[in-house]
Structure 1
Amino acid sequence: MEVTSSKYDRKTELKAFDDSKAGVKGLVDAGLAKIPRIFIHEQNKIINNHHPIGNSPSCDDSSFSTPVISLKGIVSGEEDASQRRQVIDQVRHACEKWGFFQVVDHGVPVHVLEEMIDGIRRFHEQDQVVKEEIYSRDYAKKVYYNTNFDLYQAPAANWRDTLSCVMAPRAPDLGELPSVCRDVVIDYSEKVKALGVALFELLSQALGLNPNHLKELGCAEGLVLFGHYYPTCPEPELTMGTSQHTDSSFLTVLLQDQIGGLQVLHENQWVDVTPIHGALVINLGDMSQATNLK
Structure 2
Amino acid sequence: MSTDPAYDRTAELRALDATLAGVRGLVASGVTHVPRIFRLPDPAEQRLRAQEQPPSAATIPVIDLGGDRAAVVDAIGRAAAEWGFFQVTGQGVPEEAMAAAVAAVRAFHEAGGGEGSDKARLYSREPGKAV
1:115 aligned partner: 100
| TM-score normalised by L of structure 2 | 0.61
Q: Which residue of 1 aligns with 2:91?
A: 106
Equivalent residue number for residue 60 of structure 1: 56
Listed one character per residue, the Cα deviations across residues 37-58 of structure 1 (whole Å, up to 9, x for unaligned) are: 2222313268559xx4x83222
After superposition, the C-alpha distances for 1:160-209 in whole angstroms (9 at most, x for unaligned) are xxx93xxxxxxxxxxxxxxxxxxxxxxxxxxxxxxxxxxxxxxxxxxxxx
- In structure 1, what is the equivalent of residue 43 of structure 2? 44
Normalized per residue, the structure richer in strand is: 1
Tell me whether 1:94 sits opposite 2:75 in the alignment.
yes
TM-score (normalised: structure 1) = 0.32
Q: Deviations over 1:228-263 (max 9, x none)?
A: xxxxxxxxxxxxxxxxxxxxxxxxxxxxxxxxxxxx
CA distance in structure 2 between the partners assigned to 1:60 and 1:131 by the alignment: 46
Q: Is the 8 A contact 1:124 1:131 kept in 2?
A: no
Could you tell me which runs of 5 or more consecutive residues in structure 2 were left unpaired when the two chains were aligned.
81-85
Higher RCO (Cα < 8 Å, 6 or more apart): 1
What residue is the counterpart of 1:17 in the other structure? 16
* C-alpha contact 1:22 1:128 (8 A) present in aligned 2: yes
Residue type of the alignment partner of 1:121: R
Quick check: 1:129 aligned with 2:129?
no
Gaps of 5+ in 1: 72-85, 137-143, 151-162, 165-294
Change (3 A) 1:38 1:65: closer
User: Which one-letter code corresponds to 1:69 in the other structure?
Assistant: D
CA RMSD of aligned residues (A): 3.8
**C-alpha distance in 2 between matches for 1:87 and 1:28:** 47
Distance 2:24 2:34 in 1: 12
Greater helix content = 2
How far is the alpha carbon of 1:94 from its aligned partner? 2.3
- Cα separation, partners in 2 of 1:105 and 1:34, compared to 1, 3 Å: same
- The aligned residue for residue 83 of structure 2 is none
Tell me how many residue pairs correspond in the alignment. Answer: 121
User: Within 5 Å, which residues of 2 pair with 1:1-294?
Assistant: 8=7, 10=9, 12-44=11-43, 48=47, 52=49, 55-61=51-57, 66=61, 68-71=63-66, 87-95=68-76, 98=78, 100=80, 102-129=87-114, 132=117, 134-135=119-120, 144-146=122-124, 164=131
Asked if the contact 1:13–1:38 (Cα under 8 Å) also holds between the matched residues in 2, the reply is yes
